[in-house]
Amino acid sequence: MSLLELAGVSKSYVKERGLLGSAKRYAALHPASFSLEAGECLGIVGASGSGKSTLGKLILGLEQPDEGAIRFRGADWLNASAAERHRLRRDLQAVFQNSGDALNPRMNVRQIVAEPLLNYERFTKRELERACLDALEAVGLSAAEAGKLPHQLSGGQQQRLCIARALTLRPKLIVLDEAVSSLDRMLQAQILELLRRLRSEHRLSYLFITHDMKAARHLADRLIVMDHGDIVERLDSLTALESLSHPASRRLLEARLPGHPSGRKRIVEAGLRGAASPCLVHIP
């Protein structure tokens, strides 16, 4: 039995009605089916508007699909009772792109990490403190940060805090929705390496939603490419990344910036000369 299974899941939204026109619907996600196994990282890759974040919201229960089925840990996630949904929720956590918006500015680090624990467990004050400090230590934050407010942390520390909060309940699956996209390359590398280590240590499963093929290559075991609401390509091994052939996949591959500064300088110079698509460079 797969940890997560989607069968024919779709989602559409009503476009804003004009003064004289009737409301129209547009499809954000066409029927999608796939599964994710325990201990696996599945990459969902696509450009803005491809439907990947809509897919993540449906899996997290933040949106309801128009049709289709989602099973999590063998249970019908869409039609579960409130009690069953609460029980399953502890095993399904999320880390989003904008860590600043995901953190309550009035709560300190200790309170933020403790919040999910208090929703599910009974702790003594000492036990709760120990659990919070263990979660912070796991993501490279120290006890000295526990009393700070989110705005007193750097961007990288805020994202580590979001990961610590997601880890506290020892979930089976974490949905990472553009979780490293707002960070600079150095911080991205640090957070990706942290996610790799935590996955190994806790046998976590990840659904890694991103537009960045380089980040997906670093973390994912398998890959799904999305474009305009459709799954357009699947890849069972990231060692074969260059074998992707769909135009949407090739655009994402070619959009990777060169690692060496001289390569990036050439891109900027090409843009200043008015070259077409200066940010798209193929990297062997």
Per-residue pLDDT tens digits of the chain, which is 284 residues long:
899 999 999 999 987 666 666 678 889 999 999 999 999 999 999 999 999 999 999 999 999 999 999 999 999 999 999 999 999 999 999 999 888 788 999 999 999 999 999 989 888 999 999 999 999 999 999 999 999 999 999 988 999 999 999 999 999 999 999 988 878 888 889 889 999 999 999 899 999 999 999 999 999 999 999 999 999 999 999 888 889 999 999 999 988 655 444 544 454 344 444 444 333 333 33
Q: pLDDT value at position 21?
A: 64
Q: How many CB atoms lie within 10 A of CB 41?
A: 23
Q: What is the DSSP letter of 284?
A: -
As separate numbers, helices (DSSP H) first and strands (DSSP E) second, the chain gives 10, 10
* Nearest-angstrom CA–CA distance, 204 and 198: 7
Residue 249 domain flag: no
Q: Answer yes or no: are the C-beta atoms of 164 and 196 closer than 8 Å.
A: no
Query: For strand 173-177 and strand 205-210, is the pairing parallel, antiparallel, or unpaired?
Result: parallel
Angle formed at CA 117 by CA 97 and CA 187, multiple of 5 degrees: 30
* Nearest-angstrom CA–CA distance, 179 and 145: 21
Task: Please name which of 171, 145, 174, 176 lies closest in space to residue 158, comparing C-alpha atoms.
Answer: 145
Residue 226 domain flag: yes
CATH number of the domain that residue 160 is part of: 3.40.50.300
Prediction pTM value:
0.84
Residue 225 domain flag: yes
Q: Answer yes or no: are the C-beta atoms of 243 and 269 closer than 8 Å.
A: no
Q: What angle, 0 to 180 degrees and rounded to 10, lies between the N-to-C axes of helices 155-167 and 185-202?
A: 20
Q: pLDDT value at position 19?
A: 63
Q: pLDDT value at position 99?
A: 80
Residue 19 domain flag: no
Residue 283 domain flag: no
Q: pLDDT value at position 23?
A: 73
3-state secondary structure of 92: strand
Domains contained in the chain, number: 1
Domain range enclosing 187: 36-63+80-244
Structure tokens at 17: 């009605």
From residue 55, give the alpha-carbon distance in Å to each of 1, 51, 58, 230.
Answer: 21, 6, 5, 11
Q: pLDDT value at position 65?
A: 96
Helices (H), the chain: 52-60, 82-89, 99-102, 109-120, 125-138, 155-167, 185-202, 213-219, 247-254, 261-272
Helix, strand and coil content of the chain, in percent to the nearest 5, comes to: 40, 25, 35
Residue 273 domain flag: no
Residue 181 domain flag: yes
Side chain identity, residue 284: P
Please, what's the b/e burial string for 203-238 (b: 16 or more CB within 10 A of its CB; e: otherwise)? ebbbbbbbbbbbbbbbbbbbbbbbbebbbbbebeeb
3-state secondary structure of 12: strand
Residue 269 domain flag: no
Q: pLDDT value at position 100?
A: 76
